[in-house]
Amino acid sequence: MNISGSTILVTGASGGLGSAMARELAKRGAHLILTARREEILASLAEDIGAEVVVADLADRADVESLIDRARDVDVIVLNAGIGSDTSFESLTADHIDRSIDVNLRSPIQMATAFAQHKVGSAAPAAIVLVGSLSGMAATPNTEMYNATKFGLRGFSLSLAQDLDGTNVTATLVAPSFIRDAGMFAEGDVDLPTGVRFKNPDDVSAAIVKAIENGPAEVYVSPIELRLGAAFSTIAPRISARVMKAVGAREMTGRQ
């Protein structure tokens, strides 16, 4: 579908990746509806690109319902919001589990489902983009909830894409790896092993554009060696865990 002239809702737009996506889509002629919790950041970005602001917390079910209502009139939803501030399993609480599931999994599933149900069979094309992660393929230590929710999001997205095949609506999972200058690894000041390559926010924005315009089931934003490593971990998780231990993955998270 064409981005120019379309209306696109972007969740998590106050973060570095969300901001980069919004700017790229606006540059291509889309009207943006930006949503997140941080109103001041949203307002500044909206002023720059002529966007609309809707403040919402995706852990609040009433806010999610309001976004679903607002999305009925848009052409594309980019479900980018997520939290990655995992704690060690020794400190994991029910509240932390609930918030991770609400923000990273329940809200995008609910919004994507409602959007698809409303749009299927309409005259115009529509697109759903769910922002996942390579962490939805390969587990790492101390990231139980992030892995759990991203694994779940990938499964949902790929299944939804099959159900929407042949309709006017597409569903695409965009799966970044380590992103320089934005996202959870940059914001968490995580030190990666020497030689690990990064992508950047512009690469993620390009993947969002590809997802909207072409509607593939999945778009990876990662160096080939990381994608291959993630794929290998799905068939040999024990060996993958040994590799994680050897490269000091626990130490990188700051929780030993």
Kindly list the catalytic residues.
146
* DSSP designation for 217: S
Q: How buried is residue 18: exposed, middle or buried, by Cβ count under 10 Å (0-12/13-18/19+)?
A: buried
Residue type, 204: V
C-alpha 77/C-alpha 93 separation (Å) is: 31
The whole-angstrom separation of Cα 81 and Cα 139 is 20
3-state secondary structure (DSSP) of residue 169: strand
What distance in Å separates the CA atoms of residue 41 and residue 13, rounded to the nearest whole number?
A: 9
Q: Which two tokens stand for residue 9?
A: 């809702």
Q: What 3-state DSSP class applies to 167?
A: coil
Look-up: residue for tokens 């002023």? 47
| Cα-Cα-Cα-Cα dihedral sign, residues 34, 40, 43, 45 | negative
